[in-house]
């Protein structure tokens, strides 16, 4: 009889431990706040700023596992596929309220964006 009690107790404790690990994993994710500041091509302000509800700048947040994930998210935010609408972007990021810098230590992630020359300052083309 004692062995059944020990088995059930062990099973309950194991389930509680697993549930605790799942909760701890979810709690480990933090908030990545990415600030977008756009410069529009001349006359294209409404279109360029539409992703920020008509404003030149805005902050969008999403979940990130750590500061490095937030750093990667911020760098991806530099991508510009609207070459004749958005002239350039400045991207800043914070992970759980603390500033995150680019891999080279810059506040503006787009300064390190590898496609900067191809995707920025293309308004007239």
What kind and span of H or E run contains 82?
Answer: none
Contact between 74 and 32 under an 8 Å Cβ cutoff? The reply is yes
Average pLDDT of the chain to the nearest whole number: 85
Q: What is the pLDDT of residue 25?
A: 45
Its pTM stands at 0.76
Per-residue pLDDT, averaged over 85-106, amounts to 97
Q: What is the pLDDT of residue 26?
A: 46
Alpha helices in 32-115 (DSSP H): 45-48, 67-76
> Tens digit of pLDDT for each residue in 15-74?
454 444 444 444 568 999 999 999 999 999 999 999 999 999 999 999 999 999 999 999
* Buried/exposed 64-95: b ≥16 CB within 10 Å, e otherwise: beebebbbebbbebbebebeebbbbbbbbbbb
Percentage of residues in the chain having pLDDT higher than 70: 78
Burial of residue 52 (number of CB atoms within 10 Å: 0-12, 13-18, 19+): middle
Q: What is the pLDDT of residue 12?
A: 42
Four-residue CA torsion sign, 103, 106, 110, 113: negative
The CA distance from 118 to 81, in Å, is 10
The tokens for 70 are 């937030």
Q: What is the pLDDT of residue 28?
A: 64
């Amino acid at each position: 009889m004692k062995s059944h009690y020990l088995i059930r107790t062990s099973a309950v404790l194991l389930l509680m431990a697993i549930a605790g690990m799942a909760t701890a994993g979810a709690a480990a994710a933090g908030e990545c706040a990415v600030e977008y500041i756009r410069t529009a091509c001349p006359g294209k302000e409404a279109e360029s700023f539409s992703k920020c509800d008509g404003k030149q700048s805005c902050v969008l947040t999403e979940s990130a596992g750590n500061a490095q994930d937030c750093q990667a998210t911020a760098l991806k935010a530099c991508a510009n596929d609207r070459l004749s609408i958005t002239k350039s972007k400045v991207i800043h990021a914070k992970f759980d309220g603390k500033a995150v810098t680019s891999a080279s230590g810059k506040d503006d992630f787009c300064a390190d964006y590898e496609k900067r020359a191809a995707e920025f300052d293309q308004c007239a083309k």
